[in-house]
Homo-oligomer: A and B are copies of this chain.
């Protein structure tokens, strides 16, 4: 329990962050907890596993990959404690392995859609989107990337540095120039923070503007997302909450202090409706956003 509590604490304090890392840490925590659980009966085993699961999930109620990982890792069917334990260890390991490979698979599948000469626009700094781009480049495709700055935290600088390390020719633009350069783009590829059961995408603020401009100009809009990014809570109507970050990221607080009539809004994510998404590249293949409910039901076990 102590290790599980430590993991929970690290998730809560964001020492462990990022959908993939959270998911794996949670699966490991459940696995190790089950492995060491000393109980008298399957009933007690069940109660303790459920408590541990709920506890882990409660550390960041809005993280999408967390409940998916816990749910898949803590699944067992046997009525015998030792067998149930074994099942959990296997399921957790299986989930961890799948999560580990997901980026590679998405890169491979998505890169097949990239054609020689493509100009690709991306936003913020998504591992899944970058996996597609760098895989295509390493396959010898001659591509050009346009990366947005992604104010306020300017994760676009991480993206151009990452692409530069791979040798991919990249152009950096400010976020306001998205529509101006959309004419030169062939495909837009972005990551996902979460995908709702009706196919809507939650991703870094500004994503929906890329989607809107891509749709206006008949450009492909591709989302790269591991299946554990699909949100089971949205089936039950729970909205995905949009975090607001400090105004300091946008304006110097000293300046702001002088402006009594001025406030700053700094939401981290926005919503992109399913109708602007041409395809979602997942670790189980390319799907239409309309399939989100089925993915959650069938692949996430809800």
Contact = CB atoms under 8 A, between A and B. Distances in A.
A17 interface: no
Nearest to A218: B217
Interface in A223-255: 234-239, 250-251, 255
Interface centre among A109, A167, A180, A237 (most CB of B within 10 A): A237
A32 interface: no
A289 B199 CA distance: 10
A113 interface: yes
Number of copies of this chain in the oligomer?
6
Given A209-B209, A251-B157, A218 B175 contact: no
A264 B150 CA distance: 14
A171 B244 CA distance: 14
Size category, A interface: 35 or more
Nearest to A276: B275
B237 A112 contact: yes
Interface stretch (A8-16, A63-71, A74-82, A158-166): A158-166
Interface string A281-297: 10001111111111000
A270 B157 contact: no
B267 A180 contact: yes
A265 B172 contact: yes
Nearest to A123: B176
Contacts of A151: 149, 151, 174-176
B212 A179 contact: yes
B238 A177 contact: no
A175 B172 contact: no
A213 interface: yes
A198 B287 contact: yes
B181 A265 contact: yes
A48 to B, nearest CB: 29
8 contacts: A151-B151, A173-B250, A174-B266, A175-B176, A178-B209, A180-B208, A288-B293, A293-B294
